């Protein structure tokens, strides 16, 4: 079964792999971004997505500094840029499966999943269950339209990486 620790995003309440979340700590009433996940304080977590960071910035109780919010946003932006161009260069290779049907068919050969951030809740649950059952790492990243553009489709909600080497490069 799934051995990677999961935490709940304090904004959207979704349970995710810890690597998909930023850690935030509270010290004497001041919230701080725990960039290296090592601060000795009780942590809460937020998704590494623009959507959740934006919503967090409007949260009055979680009084993160603008500098911390900016740092988080930049980290997300950097990661997204890399993934999009990386996928773009691989789009004609045999390493990619896309869409739920193709990915399900290929599941035994898949090593990493990229799930669109705006995928429906029902499909999201289905895919995360599939990922856990097959011990495949995943991230939520980009929109269906952004992922679709890679394959010249209007929308793609899921991409599977069939190369172990490429998958390792993406999860490092």
Q: Give the residues lining the site for Zn ion (CB under 5 A).
A: 9, 11-12, 47, 52
State the Cα–Cα distance between residues 28 and 77, nearest whole angstrom: 30
What is the smallest separation between the CB atom of 110 and Zn ion, expressed in angstroms?
Answer: 24
What is the smallest separation between the CB atom of 124 and Zn ion, expressed in angstroms?
Answer: 12
What is the smallest separation between the CB atom of 55 and Zn ion, expressed in angstroms?
Answer: 8
3-state secondary structure of 12: coil
Which of 33, 95 has the CB closer to Zn ion? Answer: 33
The H-or-E segment that residue 1 falls in is: none
State the Cα–Cα distance between residues 147 and 116, nearest whole angstrom: 7
Which of 47, 72 has the CB closer to Zn ion? Answer: 47
Q: Where are the beta strands (DSSP E) in 34-95?
A: 43-47
What is the smallest separation between the CB atom of 63 and Zn ion, expressed in angstroms?
Answer: 18
What is the smallest separation between the CB atom of 47 and Zn ion, expressed in angstroms?
Answer: 3
User: What is the secondary structure of 78-96 as a DSSP string?
Assistant: HHHHHHHHHHHHHTTSTTE
Which of 59, 101 has the CB closer to Zn ion? Answer: 59
State the Cα–Cα distance between residues 39 and 147, nearest whole angstrom: 35
CB 133 within 8 A of CB 108: no
């Amino acid at each position: 079964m799934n051995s990677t620790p999961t935490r709940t995003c304090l904004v959207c309440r979704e349970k995710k792999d810890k690597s998909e979340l930023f850690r935030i700590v509270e010290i004497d009433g001041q919230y701080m971004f725990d960039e290296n996940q090592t601060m000795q304080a009780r942590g809460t977590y937020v998704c590494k997505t623009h959507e959740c960071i934006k919503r967090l910035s409007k949260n009055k109780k979680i009084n993160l500094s603008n500098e911390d919010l900016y740092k988080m946003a930049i980290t997300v932006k950097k990661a997204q840029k890399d993934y999009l161009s990386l996928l773009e260069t691989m789009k004609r290779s045999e390493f990619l499966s896309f869409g739920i049907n193709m990915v399900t068919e290929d599941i035994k050969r898949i090593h990493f999943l990229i799930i669109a951030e705006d995928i429906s809740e029902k499909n999201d649950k289905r895919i995360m269950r599939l990922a856990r059952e097959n011990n495949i790492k995943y991230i939520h990243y980009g929109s269906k339209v952004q992922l679709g553009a890679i394959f010249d489709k209007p929308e793609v909600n899921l991409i599977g990486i069939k190369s172990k080497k490429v998958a390792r490069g993406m999860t490092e």
